[in-house]
Structure 1
């Protein structure tokens, strides 16, 4: 299927490195807006209220709050759920998967940033494990220079491509593949963020992380419950910090 200008080429497990992102001005995240049925006509005001709530919940990084306010979450959920798009709740997106709560997305991205940025105020190259519907990749596109997002479920990979197409985000690259092995062709990464939780952080992720980079991922603890974990790579070791309890879909290998 031909690609529209400004949208990265589709990749699959046999693909080579995606075409490099074009230099571009601010991404056209609100191109041809259209108000969906069941959502307030002033969706900007609805997003503003969501951002106010995120700030009240403790999200303080201005870059994250700005990005959460820019990306229209209702474009990533089914029509029947659009009236719940800006509530702080996870929603089903098909194939047994969900779009995470806005607070969880903002919290994890804030942890990923950790106050770090380049001269332009952005984090460097980021790897996202579990594209899902594409929402988090869109938010990441506004705080990172490049986003490589990998999804193992073909149906969700295709859905994310369609959801992201109108946003025209040249710095987002979508891949169909096994997230447990990461994406070595894009490494090293300034940050790796996972939307699925496993028994441990895969060794491939730590190998592909740059020194000074961070991994933010849900991980199963000895008690069988998931907790949010932040791992920082130094020249000598990986430092791990265990944070609050979370609940994500399980991390799995292979392509389906």
Structure 2
């Protein structure tokens, strides 16, 4: 029997100008994949270049975290964007990050939507197709990181793109395996000990307890640790330590 294996991904580069939200340097010493903000919900050219350079130096996979054009709302506000326009914006973001990844001697190796786009593409066939269109416009058959069983993964598979399933240790789930909206109480798991317990269980058993107490199967190759929570780097390090102590190999999926 092979040892269980999991990737650890985190949202990085989530700042703008002199404002910084994530501890990129510390998180890049723990995670194996970096979801880099591409300027639409956070991030700017200098931040993108810096994070790509650090990720390449440390052998961390670089992913384009694409978003609705919503800098003021941090990409978490629902938006109505036509399919063709959204596809163009997704391709634009991937292309921008690819330039900085190449300058660092690396490449963009996957795509993950952010915030409201992530949630919408999980259940909306049209928006999911727009994300996939954008990836194809960008000229690469990049893997798509997202919720297992989502509309996004269905659209990606239909287009011949690889899919990678992820789970969230610090987000509450509904009984149907989707994430609880951040607008609702209890949507974010804030107790570090609970986040660690959930991480190990997800990696070993592929199960998470939903907000209503029901046990939900979530088989995932990657585990997301949010970089914008207080003490994110320390928590990520503790999660990795406990995973490895439980016999889980932590390595990138690409």
Global fold match (TM > 0.5): no
Larger relative CO (CA 8 A, sep 6+): 1 or 2? 2
Report the TM-score when normalising by structure 2. 0.30
Specify which structure has the higher proportion of helix. Answer: 2
